[in-house]
Amino acid sequence: EKGGYDYFMLKEIAEQPKAVADTLLGRIDAAGLLTLDEVRIPVHELREIDKVVIVACGTAFHAGLIAKYAIEHWTRIPCEVELASEFRYRDPILGARSLVIAISQSGETMDTLMALRHAREQGSKVLAICNTNGSTIPRESDAVLYTHAGPEVAVASTKAFLTQLVACYLVALYLGQVRGTKWGDEIQAVIRDLSQISGEVERVLETMEPVRELARSVASKNTVLFLGRHVGYPVALEGALKLKELAYMHAEGFAAGELKHGPIALIEEGMPVVVVVPSPRGRSVLHDKIVSNIQEIRARGAMTIVIAEEGDETVVPYADHLIRIPATPTLLQPLVATVPLQVFACELATARGNEVDQPRNLAKSVTVE
Q: Which residues bind ligand M6R (CB under 6 A)?
A: 57-60, 104-106, 109, 112, 155-157, 245, 365-366
- Distance between CA atoms of 108 and 174, rounded to whole angstroms? 26
First to last CA, the chain: 32
Give the span between the Cα atoms of 51 and 120, in whole angstroms: 15
Residue placing its CB nearer to ligand M6R in the complex, 52 or 149: 149
Query: Among positive and negative, which fits the CA dihedral 318, 323, 328, 334?
Result: negative
DSSP string for 285-329: HHHHHHHHHHHHHHHTT-EEEEEEETT--TTGGG-SEEEEE----
CB of residue 158 to ligand M6R, shortest distance in Å: 8
Least Å distance, CB 105 to ligand M6R, is 3
How far, in Å, CA of 159 to CA of 153, rounded?
10
CA 226 to chain centre: 14
Cα–Cα distance measured from residue 20 to residue 27, given in angstroms and rounded to the nearest whole number:
12
**Nearer Cβ to ligand M6R, position 110 or 266?**
110
Pairs from 361-369 (Cβ < 8 Å, separation ≥ 24)? 362/155, 362/245, 363/155, 364/106, 364/152, 364/153, 364/155, 365/105, 365/106, 365/108, 365/109, 366/57, 366/109, 366/110, 366/111, 367/108, 367/109, 367/110, 368/110, 369/85, 369/110, 369/111, 369/114
Q: Which residues pair with 325 in a beta bridge?
A: 309
Cβ closest to ligand M6R, residue 105 vs residue 124: 105
Rounded to a whole number of angstroms, the minimum distance from the CB of residue 338 to ligand M6R is: 11
- Residue 230: which of 268, 287, 154 has the closest Cα? 287
Shortest Å distance, C-beta 171 to ligand M6R:
16
Residue placing its CB nearer to ligand M6R in the complex, 237 or 290: 237
Catalytic residues, which ones? 364
CB of 273 to ligand M6R, least distance (A): 22
- Of 17 and 359, nearer to ligand M6R (C-beta) is 359
Which amino acid, one-letter code, is at 89?
Y
| Nearest-approach distance from CB 344 to ligand M6R, in angstroms | 14
Nearer to ligand M6R, 105 or 141 (CB): 105
